[in-house]
Amino acid sequence: MTEFGFGREARLLKPAEFKRVFDNTQLRGSTPHLLVLASSNEVQTPRLGFVLAKKQIRHAVDRNRVKRLIRESFRHHQHDLESRDFVILARSGVTKLDNRELREMIDALWFRLKRPTHGKSGNKHKKRR
């Protein structure tokens, strides 16, 4: 049976783990409200870390809501993602989104990040007539 937990093994906990993702970013996905950075890891599971600054999200209740919704989405998508470390950075305006909009946005980011070519095709696009 598939596990959908979010234990310590699924989290980035140490500053060195965050630094490695920032220094060796291999994949990047962004929206006007969120930025996701990804780097391969040595463990065989995807891991998640947050950088939600007080300057961007003023109130703790809002930071906790954003983290809760992203964690929930990650739990459901973790088995489809490659073995990478993901760091989520919040941008201004993320608190203006309701729960449904935020969940749809992060689900779309996971979808983009789990594609093997990350949206870059080797073939040139054919010109439309």
Report the CATH number at residue 88: 3.30.230.10
Domain count, the chain: 1
Residue-wise pLDDT for 47-62, tens only, equals 999 999 999 899 999 9
Average pLDDT score over the chain? 86
User: Which residues have a Cβ under 8 Å from the Cβ of 89 and sit 6 or more positions away?
Assistant: 34, 35, 36, 37, 51, 52
- At residue 16, what are phi and psi to the nearest 5 degrees? -65, -35
The per-residue pLDDT for 116 is 57
Does a structural domain hold residue 72? yes
Does a structural domain hold residue 108? yes
Does a structural domain hold residue 13? yes
Does a structural domain hold residue 50? yes
The per-residue pLDDT for 96 is 94
**Of all helices (H) and strands (E), which one includes residue 88?**
strand 84-90
Cα angle 54, 56, 62; round to 5 = 70
Residue-wise pLDDT for 101-125, tens only, equals 999 999 999 998 876 554 444 444 4
The per-residue pLDDT for 90 is 93
Domain range enclosing 83? 8-114
**What's the burial of 36, exposed, middle or buried (CB within 10 Å: 0-12/13-18/19+)?**
buried
